Amino acid sequence: MRYLPHSEAERAEMLGVIGAANIDALFSAVPAKALKTFDLGLPAHSPEFLVEAHLKALSAKNHAGADGPFFVGAGAYRHHVPATVDHLIQRSEWLTAYTPYQPEISQGTLQMLFEFQTQVAKLTGMDVANASLYDGSTGTAEAVLMARRLTKRNKIVLSGGLHPHYRDVVKAYLKDDADLECLSASPDGQGDILDHIDEHTAAIVIQTPDFYGHLRNMKAAADAAHAKGALLIVVITEVVSLGLLEAPGALGADIVVAEGQSIGNALNFGGPYLGLMATRKEFIRQMPGRLCGETVDAEGQRGFVLTLSTREQHIRREKATSNICTNSGLCALAFSIHMGLLGEAGFTRLARLNHAHACKLADALAAVPGVEVLNDTFFNEMTIRTSQPAAELIERLAARGILGGVPVSRLEPSDPSVANLIVLAATELTTDADISALCAALSEELA
C-alpha cells in the first residue's frame, strides 16, 4: 500500500519493542464483540491509475461549466481563476500546514491571514474582518447570533430578497424561534422590511445585490435600523459587486457577511467556499471565528499570531461565542492571492466587465418574446419572468447544452407566484455568442 511506510518486518520489530504479541493486543480495550467481527465488503486497495479511471468516469457524467453557454448564479459564480492561484495554493507549505497555533513556524499562513483580513476590511469598508468562516450562509446565521449578543434583543427580520438557502440556514440554526421573522420572497426588489423594525429588533438582514439581482438601499435600511437601536446585517453573495458598488461600511452597515467564492475559488458544486465577515471595531469581542493580529517576537521583529482567542471554544468551552473551530484557510489563501493579483485596478475592471456583460444579457433577454426582465437595477445578475414554467424550461435548455440559470421554484417550491421566474448571471466569462445562443433557444422554446 503506497501510503503506508512499514514493511512487515518493521511492524514485527516495533511490536517487539512494545512487548505486544500481535497487533490485536493493542486493541485489548475494545469489547470482543466489536473488534473485527465483520466483513466490510468494501473493495480492496487499488493502484493510482485505476482510482483515477474511476473518478474520471464519474466526472465525465457531469456537464461542466466550460461545456457550453453558462448563466447559473444565485449565490455561486463562475469566474476565471488565474493559473498562478491554483499553482500557489498547491504548494506543500500552504496545502499541508496545520492551523497556525505555533506562530514561530506559521508566519506564512499568519501573515497571509493578516493581509486577507485587511483586504476584506477594505472591500467592505468595515473596521475589522475575521480570518473567514465556512461560507456565506453559515456566516449569516453566525451574524444573526452575534447581533443578538450585542443588542441583548431577540427579534431578527430577514428580507424577502435574502438567498432562500441562507434564510433556511438561519431558520435551522434558530429552530422553533418565534422571534425570527422571514419576509416573503420579493422578486420585484420592493421590500417593506423597514416597517418591521421595532424596539425588540436585534437586527435586520438585507442582501445586496439581492437574490433576484436588485440593488438595495443600504443607507435607508441602516438609518431605519439605527433609529430603533437595531443593527443592520448586510449579506453579499457576489463579492465582485464590491468593485463597482459602494462599500456597506460607508452606508452604515454594522456587520457584513459575504460569500467569497467568486474570488480565487472554483464552483466545486457548492463547496468548499469561504465566508467573509467584517464588523465595527467595538463589536470585535462578539465576533465569531479566528482573528489574526500583529505583534512582535522576543527580538522585536514584527510577527503575527492568532489573537483574542478568549472568544473561542478551545479556551471558553461552553461560554464561547460560537463552536467554530476552523476557518476556510486554503480558500482564504486563494481569495487573497487572486485579490492581490487583481489589486484595485484589476478588481475595478473585473467588476465593470461583469456589469457590462450583464447589461448586454438584460438587453438581449428583454427582446425575446415571452421574456420579461424584472430588474431596473442589477450588478451581474437578474430575474426574468417567462411565459412558461421555469423549471421545465431550464431542463429543455439543458438538453440543448445551455445552462440557462436557476428556476426560482427550485429554491421556493411552495410559492406558486415564482413558478415562472429564472435568475441568471453573467460574468467576465460570458461571451456575446453565449448570449445569442441563450436568446435563440429561449425564443424557440417559448414560441
Partner 1 sequence: MSMNNQGRPTGVGTSGFSSTSGSSLLPNEPLLFEIGDTEHSGVDLPDVTITMDRLGGFERKTPLDLAGLTEPEAMRHYVRLSRLNHSIDSGMYPLGSCTMKHNPRLNEKMARLPGFSDIHPLQPVSTVQGALELMNELSHWLMTLTNTAAVALTPKAGAHGELLGMMAIKAAQTAAGQGHRTIVLVPESAHGTNPATAAFLGYSVKPIPARTDGTVDVQAVKDALSPEVAAIMLTNPNTCGLFEPQVIEIAEAVHAAGAFFYCDGANFNAIMGVVRPGDLGIDAMHINLHKTFSTPHGGGGPGAGPVVLSAALAPFAPVPFVRKGDNGLELVEHETGESLGRITAFQGQMGMYVRALTYMLSHGGDGLAQAAQDAVLNANYIKARLSHVFSVPFNDYPTMHEALFDDTFLAGTGVTTLDFAKALIDEGFHPMTMYFPLVVHGAMLIEPTESESKQTLDRFCDVMEELALDAKSGNSQRFTSAPMNAPRRRLDETRAARSPILKWERPVEAMKPAE
**What's the rounded Cα separation, in Å, for the pair 122 and 258?**
13
Smallest gap from residue 368 Cβ to partner 1 (A): 19
390-399 helix and 432-446 helix, angle to the nearest 10 degrees? 120
Is 120:339 a contact under the CB 8 Å cutoff? no
Site stretch for partner 1 (CB under 8 A), options 154-162, 167-175, 180-188, 223-231: 167-175
Smallest gap from residue 203 Cβ to partner 1 (A): 18
Q: Is 279 left (phi over 0), alpha (psi -120 to 50) or beta?
A: beta
**What's the rounded Cα separation, in Å, for the pair 221 and 234?**
10
Considering only residues 237 through 296, tell me which ones interact with partner 1, judged by CB under 8 A: 242-247, 249-250, 259, 266-274, 284, 290-296
The dihedral through the CA atoms of 174, 176, 179, 185 has a sign that is: positive
With CA atoms as reference, report the closest residue to 328 among 76, 109, 78.
109
User: Based on CB atoms, which residue is closest to partner 1, 200 or 302?
Assistant: 302
User: Based on CB atoms, which residue is closest to partner 1, 17 or 199?
Assistant: 17
If one asks whether residue 313 binds partner 1 (CB under 8 A), the answer comes out as yes
If one asks whether residue 416 binds partner 1 (CB under 8 A), the answer comes out as no
Smallest gap from residue 200 Cβ to partner 1 (A): 19
Taking CB under 8 A as the criterion, the residue among 340, 372, 415, 419 binding partner 1 is 340
Considering only residues 177 through 206, tell me which ones interact with partner 1, judged by CB under 8 A: none
If one asks whether residue 342 binds partner 1 (CB under 8 A), the answer comes out as yes
Q: Could you tell me which residues come within 8 angstroms of residue 261 by beta carbon, excluding any fewer than 6 positions away? A: 76, 77, 135, 239, 267, 273, 274, 331
Taking CB under 8 A as the criterion, the residue among 26, 220, 366, 367 binding partner 1 is 26
Considering only residues 354 through 373, tell me which ones interact with partner 1, judged by CB under 8 A: 355-356, 359, 362
What spatial distance separates the first Cα and last Cα of the chain, rounded to whole Å? Answer: 60
Tell me the three cell numbers of residue 100: 497556525
With CA atoms as reference, report the closest residue to 331 among 165, 178, 120.
120
Tell me the three cell numbers of residue 382: 437578474
Taking CB under 8 A as the criterion, the residue among 307, 387, 388, 443 binding partner 1 is 307
Smallest gap from residue 73 Cβ to partner 1 (A): 8
3-state secondary structure of 237: coil
What is the gyration radius of the CA atoms in the chain, in angstroms? 25
136-151 helix and 164-173 helix, angle to the nearest 10 degrees? 50
Smallest gap from residue 437 Cβ to partner 1 (A): 16
User: Based on CB atoms, which residue is closest to partner 1, 307 or 443?
Assistant: 307
Smallest gap from residue 37 Cβ to partner 1 (A): 7
Smallest gap from residue 166 Cβ to partner 1 (A): 6
Taking CB under 8 A as the criterion, the residue among 154, 223, 280, 341 binding partner 1 is 341
Considering only residues 58 through 117, tell me which ones interact with partner 1, judged by CB under 8 A: 58-66, 70, 72, 74-76, 78, 82, 84, 86, 88-100, 102-109, 111-112, 114-115, 117
If one asks whether residue 223 binds partner 1 (CB under 8 A), the answer comes out as no
Q: Would you call 69 exposed, middle or buried from its count of C-beta atoms within 10 A (0-12, 13-18, 19+)?
A: buried
User: Based on CB atoms, which residue is closest to partner 1, 228 or 280?
Assistant: 280
**AA identity, residue 322:** S
Taking CB under 8 A as the criterion, the residue among 182, 194, 215, 374 binding partner 1 is 215
If one asks whether residue 431 binds partner 1 (CB under 8 A), the answer comes out as no
Smallest gap from residue 152 Cβ to partner 1 (A): 16
Smallest gap from residue 97 Cβ to partner 1 (A): 4
User: Based on CB atoms, which residue is closest to partner 1, 218 or 256?
Assistant: 218
If one asks whether residue 316 binds partner 1 (CB under 8 A), the answer comes out as yes
Q: Could you tell me which residues come within 8 angstroms of residue 349 by beta carbon, excluding any fewer than 6 positions away? A: none
Taking CB under 8 A as the criterion, the residue among 1, 178, 433, 447 binding partner 1 is 1
User: Based on CB atoms, which residue is closest to partner 1, 89 or 156?
Assistant: 89
Taking CB under 8 A as the criterion, the residue among 156, 157, 158, 169 binding partner 1 is 169
Q: Could you tell me which residues come within 8 angstroms of residue 23 by beta carbon, excluding any fewer than 6 positions away? A: 11, 15
Q: Could you tell me which residues come within 8 angstroms of residue 337 by beta carbon, excluding any fewer than 6 positions away? A: 84, 85, 88, 89, 264
**Cα dist from 93 to 105, 306, 397, whole Å:** 11, 18, 44
